[in-house]
């Protein structure tokens, strides 16, 4: 029988399938911890890991649900255990039916959800909190003024560094951003343009003074804080943006702790995606506050945000994008996306 030091073992043989499954994983979680969780389930069922693969899928599902119901622990931990057991069966070509949705929903309600959305005052408070952190401040302002989600923010940070550096060195106050998203064979691709305004450009210059100006050999605007094994900086990921936003909301008291429990945060209804929702809401103010003859089209705001729009309404400008027209439209909404111009 194959053994691993420091791991829980069962009587008899039949753990080869578990060891093979565990060795296929990366280093995101400790191998021994994952292996022991599976063997706990094996002990509950009275089977070895190889014998588990011989039972019916519906039986494995029932045993898994009973094991989780009898297990004492946090509901988030139970969800993790479910995914680990299911991944073991999936690795060996066995598909355990998903537990009923109401049953899973009860597990996901471990932490209370505070209903809320990111407001202008909250965003201003976050900017004030990271005033000395030029990296985080530039990320927030670029995402707000470009009406981007974390996915598009990563595109800016990982693919547009040298382009932005050239324009910002020349003193540009408004920079156009071009996005191209590839779809499947039916949808083809989706392309659109957006911009960043003066405040985001100034924040990037402050960050480049600390980080250094990007170039073709070092293209990332916000390289990962942890370099790769080769020593090179890694790209910005949507997960790192989400974690950065989560930590910032916790520091600014937008995400509170549960009473009586240390280290556990409530699930707050504000995420990194809410920055784009706030930007769209602020930009829509320009559609009814501008002077006659200088109106902003609502479809243009949706276009800047990357949505698919009705081209019939603005066929002359959108089907063949007129960059000058788009630039004029953005300059009309830029004051509403500039926190320095917000009234207290």
- pLDDT tens series, the chain, 344 aa: 333 333 344 434 457 787 777 776 654 445 667 788 888 888 888 888 888 888 888 888 888 888 888 877 777 788 888 888 888 888 888 888 888 878 777 776 555 555 557 889 989 999 999 989 999 999 999 999 999 999 999 999 999 999 999 999 999 999 999 998 876 555 567 889 999 999 999 999 999 999 999 999 889 999 987 666 666 778 898 888 988 888 888 888 777 665 555 555 555 557 888 899 999 999 999 888 767 667 788 888 999 999 877 666 666 555 555 788 889 899 999 999 999 988 76
Question: Per the structure block, which two tokens stand in for 56?
Answer: 């019916």
Sort residue 102 into left (φ over 0), alpha (ψ -120 to 50) or beta: alpha
What is the predicted pLDDT for the residue at 198? Answer: 96
Domain 120-341, classified CATH 3.50.50.60, yes or no:
no
97/90 Cα distance (integer angstroms) = 11
Task: State the pairing for strand pair 175-182/189-196.
Answer: antiparallel
Question: Per the structure block, which two tokens stand in for 33?
Answer: 């911890």
Domain spans, the chain:
16-108, 120-341
């Amino acid at each position: 029988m194959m053994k691993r030091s420091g791991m829980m073992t069962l009587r008899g043989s039949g753990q080869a399938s578990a060891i093979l499954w565990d060795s296929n994983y990366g280093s995101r979680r400790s191998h021994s911890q994952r292996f022991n969780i599976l063997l706990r389930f094996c002990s509950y069922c009275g089977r070895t890991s190889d014998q588990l693969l011989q039972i019916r899928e519906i039986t494995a599902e029932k045993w898994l649900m009973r094991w989780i119901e009898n297990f004492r622990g946090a509901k988030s931990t139970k969800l993790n255990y479910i995914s680990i057991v299911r991944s073991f069966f999936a690795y060996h070509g066995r598909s355990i039916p998903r537990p009923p949705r109401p049953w899973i929903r009860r597990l996901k309600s471990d932490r209370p959800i505070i209903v809320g959305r990111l407001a202008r005052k909250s965003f201003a408070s976050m900017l004030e909190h990271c005033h000395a952190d030029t990296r985080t401040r530039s990320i927030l302002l670029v995402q707000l003024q470009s009406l981007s989600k974390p996915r598009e923010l990563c595109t800016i940070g990982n693919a547009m560094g040298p382009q932005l550096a050239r324009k910002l060195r020349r003193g540009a106050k408004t920079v156009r951003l071009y996005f191209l998203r590839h779809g499947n064979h039916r949808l083809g691709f989706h392309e659109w343009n957006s911009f960043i305004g003066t405040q985001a450009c100034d924040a990037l210059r402050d960050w480049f003074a600390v980080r250094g100006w990007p170039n073709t050999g070092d293209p990332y605007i916000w390289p990962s804080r942890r370099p790769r094994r080769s020593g090179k900086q890694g790209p910005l990921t949507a997960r790192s943006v989400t974690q950065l936003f989560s930590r910032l909301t916790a520091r600014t008291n937008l995400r509170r702790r549960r009473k009586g429990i240390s280290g556990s945060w409530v699930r707050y209804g504000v995420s990194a995606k809410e920055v784009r929702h706030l930007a769209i809401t602020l930009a829509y103010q320009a559609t009814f506050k501008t002077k006659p003859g200088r109106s902003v089209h609502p479809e243009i705001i949706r276009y800047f945000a990357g949505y698919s729009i009705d081209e019939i309404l603005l066929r002359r400008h959108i089907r063949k994008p007129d960059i000058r027209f788009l630039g004029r439209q953005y300059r009309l909404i830029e004051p509403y996306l500039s926190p320095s111009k917000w009234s207290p």
